[in-house]
Amino acid sequence: MKRTAIFFGPEKGSVNRVADMICALIGTDKVEMVPVKSATAADFERFDQIIFGISTVGKETWDGKPAKTDWGIFLPEVSKGNFAGKKVAIFGLGDHITYAASFVDFIGLLAGELKKADATLYGQVPVEGYEFEESEAVADGLFAGLPIDEDFEPEKTPERIKNWIALLQRDFDF
């Protein structure tokens, strides 16, 4: 079995809760949970399969001013990582009502950084079933990862996670 990690942040909120749900579905004995606030690029080396869990980004990120949040501090570590031969997937939380014109943009931002670091991404999700205006996470009708809206569609989260894990199981060894 391959070593799998979920790098997530911030802790003690919706991203943490969704990461816990994903971990439980995969199997808590098969996944290591890694909070990004205390992680570095060196931590990627220990794993064959990595799932990143991120939250909505604020305006400061789009303006190019990194926030002093978990992901604002950790994002530069991604570009230092060696992802050759690793399987990588992303889930991201967003608000499709308040931020319809920038829904889960951070999935797209992170996907771009991972691709620059030669990562191969898995777990792309069709846009069907999601309501939003625009998203930096979409290319060719697919989100670069799994979008979750815990603010306005929490009832859809368990089914979306279940379907995504089934999709990942085609390529990941859990």
Q: Where are the domains of the chain?
A: 4-168
pLDDT digits (tens, 9 = 90+) for 1-35: 689 999 999 898 899 999 999 999 999 999 999 99
Residue 88 phi/psi, 5-degree rounding, is: -130, 140
Query: What CA–CA distances, in Å, run from 155 to 41, 88, 135?
Result: 34, 26, 22
Residues 45, 82: Cα–Cα separation, whole Å: 7
User: In sequence order, what are the beta bridge partners of 53?
Assistant: 8, 91
**CATH class held by domain 4-168:** alpha beta
> In 3D, which of 165, 160, 106, 107 has the Cα closest to residue 130?
160
Q: Specify the pLDDT at position 64.
A: 53
Higher local confidence (pLDDT), 63 or 124: 124
pLDDT digits (tens, 9 = 90+) for 69-97: 788 889 999 999 999 999 999 999 999 99
Compute the chain's Rg from CA coordinates.
15
The tokens 């950084």 sit on which residue? 113
